[in-house]
Amino acid sequence: MPLTVADAERDLRELLDRRVSVTYEPQGTLVDRPVRTSAVLILFGTLDREPAAHGARTVPPELDILLTRRADSMRHHAGQIAFPGGGTETQDRDAADTALREAAEETGVDPAGVDVLGTLQPVHIPVSNYLVTPVIGWWRRPSPVAADHSESVEVFRAPVAELLDPAARGTSVLRHARSTYRGAAFTLGPHLGGHLVWGFTGMTLASLFDELDWSVPWDPTVEFPVAPGR
């Protein structure tokens, strides 16, 4: 039987019981500044528009995930597709509090409608020297979202089935100085601007999909060049 939305939520809950970690290959050199903690919200839910018309059949067509496009003025990861999130503030009780607060600021998502399922192991991002905790959420009661045009300039509810389509997958290639950095990447559909999802976001999604057994075979030899500074 095809996977239902309820099955997808169950899979996510069972995944977090296993305490998995993200497979992340650093995409740059370590910056010379103190390590700071942060959190991102990986928010799954049910599409607020037409379900995915194509893509992998390992997930229900109405399953989506919330992504943003960061402002070009941001100090780190400018212009990249990302999960909503940011640095820990003194008032935050834990990583989930940080992720929900930042998501509300960047996208307008109502934290009251989000069920926090749990967290993945923290990941160190050398290029910004952040220790990032991925927080998995289930959008029990979706709310309207929009970019704040300060940190985020676009907000997407991306169909997971489309991300898992082998035609949307490949390997990002970032060449900088004498180094080359590679990682799992995805392309958003034309209706979402055709942006490339790479770096921490792309590798986190790839790890999650593999652990959830939602992935279908794709060709890692397909390369998506990334311009330095993006």
Gap between the Cα atoms of 178 and 162, Å rounded? 34
Statement: the pTM of the whole predicted model exceeds 0.85: yes
Distance of alpha carbon 123 from alpha carbon 76, whole angstroms? 16
Per-residue pLDDT of the chain (230 residues; tens, 9 = 90+): 568 999 999 999 999 988 877 787 776 666 667 789 999 999 999 976 666 777 888 999 999 999 999 875 555 555 689 999 999 999 999 999 999 999 999 999 999 999 999 999 999 888 788 899 999 999 999 999 998 877 788 999 999 999 999 999 999 998 877 888 899 999 999 988 899 999 999 999 999 999 999 999 999 999 999 876 55
In this predicted structure, what is the pLDDT of residue 221? Answer: 97
Phi then psi dihedrals of residue 5, to 5 deg = -60, -40
Return the CATH number of 5-218, one of 3.90.79.10, 3.40.50.620, 3.20.20.140, 3.30.420.10.
Answer: 3.90.79.10
How far is residue 3's CA from residue 61's CA, in Å, rounded to a whole number?
9
The DSSP letter of residue 22 is: -
Domain residue ranges of the chain, discontinuous segments joined by +: 5-218
